[in-house]
Amino acid sequence: MGDVFIGSEAVASGLLIRHELQRFHTRLLPDVYQPRGQPTSLRDRTLAAWLWSRRRAVIAGAAAAALHDAQWVNDDEPIELVWDNGRPPAGLVVRNETLLGDEVTRIAGLPVTSLARTAFDLGRYLPRGRAIARLDALSRAIWFSNEDVLLLAKRHSGARGVRRLRELLPLVDRGAASPKETWLRLLLIDAGFPIPTTQIPVQDTCGLIAMLDMGWEEFKVAAEYDGDVHRTDRRRYVWDQKRSRLVAGLGWKSVLVINEDNPKDIIARVHDALTSRGWRPEIETTQSSTHTLSA
């Protein structure tokens, strides 16, 4: 038996009797089971969703992004399918949409929306911040071309959310190493600061000493998100302290951000750091807005 399987098929083939199916297995979806006591991963739930469709649906959305190796997709994320079924069980989102041949690929034996089509869907259906975080993660895992996604937008011009997708694509940055870094970058852009560069290498005479989350090389100002791992891992914490001193010694001013920080305070701290290095909001904000509109 596979880890996830269709119950009626297993009984019909003689691999299990009905009593064994019910006693020793957990139902994930109608007529789809896995061995009892086994943890259920995102991949298990994705396979279960496809089997529930009687192997007819195409996997889409965040589950498709995960199959394309994107990170930050939780095991309990709703599984999205492209299929004609109006009454999916809990945990599934089913959309009856048009998929052309070049918009579907196969990964690990499963039919999945292509890289460009996955990006096309993520940018249309999710709220702005979550959409860009998903697109950042997808792009970080495997680079996709905005032009390919825009071709799909042209092909499906009447589809829901296409206009919003066009607005989001210029903001995608594969340098974001986590959803929180995406959130911080968008906070700074929306506040009117110049669009920051991500993953900035800092070197001394001995070589690379740091990759800064984001910042402005012209002003030597960085903004970095300090996640929980930096505080719970003592070795990492010690290295981060040393790294911060080395980066400061090379003339960088870093604004460290943690989850509990107030967004207004973050903006004020970044504003003070940039203006102390010569940035002038009246000039730079206009240039940044023009750049964003022309992107």
Looking at the structure, tell me whether residues 192 and 94 fall in a common domain: no
Looking at the structure, tell me whether residues 201 and 84 fall in a common domain: no
Looking at the structure, tell me whether residues 59 and 167 fall in a common domain: yes
The count of domains in the chain is 3
Looking at the structure, tell me whether residues 47 and 140 fall in a common domain: yes
Domain end, chosen from 146, 171, 196, is at 171
Looking at the structure, tell me whether residues 76 and 147 fall in a common domain: yes
Looking at the structure, tell me whether residues 51 and 153 fall in a common domain: yes
Looking at the structure, tell me whether residues 259 and 274 fall in a common domain: yes
Phi, psi (deg, nearest 5) at residue 192: 100, 5
Looking at the structure, tell me whether residues 213 and 157 fall in a common domain: no
Q: Report whether pLDDT(129) > 90.
A: yes
Looking at the structure, tell me whether residues 45 and 33 fall in a common domain: no
pTM for the structure as a whole: 0.89
Looking at the structure, tell me whether residues 51 and 2 fall in a common domain: no
How many percent of the chain have pLDDT more than 70? Answer: 92
**For position 247, which CATH number holds?**
3.40.960
Domain end, chosen from 131, 150, 171, is at 171
Domain end, chosen from 131, 146, 171, is at 171
What's the confidence (pLDDT) of residue 92? 97
Looking at the structure, tell me whether residues 155 and 65 fall in a common domain: yes
The domain in which residue 35 lies consists of 1-39
Looking at the structure, tell me whether residues 185 and 290 fall in a common domain: yes
pLDDT average, residue stretch 10-14: 97
What's the confidence (pLDDT) of residue 230? 52
196-248 pLDDT, tens digit each: 999 999 998 888 989 999 999 999 999 999 876 556 666 767 767 788 888 99
What's the confidence (pLDDT) of residue 291? 40
